Amino acid sequence: MDAALRQRIYEFIEQKGLRKTAQRDAIIAAAFGTHEHFTAEALLEMSKKIEPSVSRATVYRTLPLLVECGVLKELDLGREQKVYDPNFVDHPHHNHLICVDCDKIVEFEDQNIELLEECISRRLGFSPSSKMVRIEAKCDELKRLGECKNRGKGK
């Protein structure tokens, strides 16, 4: 895990008058030990491997903290469970493309869409800050075979 990121998080925690605990440490290490998206449940499992005393409640209480800190992004990918993305620290402007069938996710950055969403937002009287785009489409496998092997499994 990146040292600068670690410092940023712990400064945030200190500034808010919060405390450094073994459980939080484990959750933070787990969250940024991967570049994959994860759910609260998955983060719980990863955290427990580092510090077995981590409970589900503490994971659910820590996630909003990391989102507020700006290091984790809560994604709404149209699933039952919320998904968290640790990659916004490195790529603050990326967007997501999701297969409508198997939930496969691809991250992408695109100057044109960046510009276009700004134009559209302005035209409709919205401020172009804090924008995000999500494209749903059919993955290649779905297109070729009519369905995905990993249907519903996500990625």
Q: How far is the CB of 63 from a second copy (least distance, A)?
A: 16
Q: Does 50 bind DNA (CB under 7 A)?
A: no
Of 136, 8, 129, the closest CA to residue 72 belongs to: 8
Nearer to a second copy, 13 or 99 (CB): 99
Helix (H, G, I), strand (E, B) or coil at 84: strand
Q: Which residue in the set 18, 22, 67, 132 belongs to the binding site for a second copy (CB under 8 A)? A: 132
E-state strands within 25-79: 73-75
Phi, psi at 68, each rounded to 5°: -60, -35
57 vs 119, beta carbon nearer DNA: 57
Q: Should residue 99 be labelled a site residue for a second copy when binding is judged by CB under 8 A?
A: yes
Residue 135 Cβ vs DNA, minimum distance, rounded to whole Å: 22
How many whole angstroms from its chain centre is CA 93? 13
